[in-house]
Amino acid sequence: MHIHPLAVVSSTAKIGPDVRIGPFCVVESDVTIGPGCTLESGAIIKEGTTLGADNHVFEGAVLGGLPQHVHMPEHPGRVVIGAGNTFRENVTVHRAMEVGNVTTLGDNNLLMVGAHVAHDCRLGNHVILTNNVLLAGHVTVEDRANLSGAVAVHQFCRVGTLAMVGGHARVVKDVPPFVTIDGISALVVGLNQVGLRRAGHDLEAVRQLKVAYRVIYRGGLTWSEVLKRLKSEFSDAPAAAFYEFCSTTKRGITPERRQPPTATIKLHRDTESEPQVRAKAG
């Protein structure tokens, strides 16, 4: 264990072996830091925070801050973080609103510069939050989801496993697993083919996901019919995750950008501003 003489570490904090704490860090009371963690200069670990092993906290990150809420709780909950996570510069993670509740992060997540995780959020494992991602309170992000730069997620929304959310998207409904969200429209544009391949899913698994995707978005079915077909026809992983996710949504799922075949799209052409094109004599 190496603690720089310019760091401020509470005498009641629990510091594991092989921990490195750099200059100007602050570690408050009621904090547990697991073995092998590194706190770079100026990192702050607030009261009520537990860090597992081998986490790397970069300059200016603040873990365990109080919730941002107009009714500040007298006794807030905690932050519990797993192992092997990376918190880049100026990341913030806030404690749960109520005592007994927890803001949780799993293992091997990467939170890039300026990402914010609000109170009562739940992150799984191998999640990537790119620069300036904003998660409002009570958001759930499942394993291997990837949120691109400046994505904002509304409170109580869920982002499913292996979902890919494009930059600057505003997520206001649940994002089903395995799909890609276009950053401009914030709508679903298909499966996350790259993520599925990198996660090791074989061709048959991807084929089943495509069939289930069409049931959800292109079958012209009512929601109850969608759930019935997902439950009866896709019992094997990974496609079974669609039913598990969709049957528990409370906010509804993000719609697809592609219009159904029966949709009527009215196009407006400003003929006055168009250049006149004359046919060339033959």
Catalytic site residue from 137, 160, 166, 195:
137
- Quick check: is 16 catalytic? no
- Quick check: is 64 catalytic? no
d(CA 281, CA 247): 64
Catalytic site residue from 94, 119, 126, 138:
119
- Quick check: is 201 catalytic? no
Catalytic site residue from 120, 138, 166, 195:
120
Residues with catalytic roles: 119-120, 137
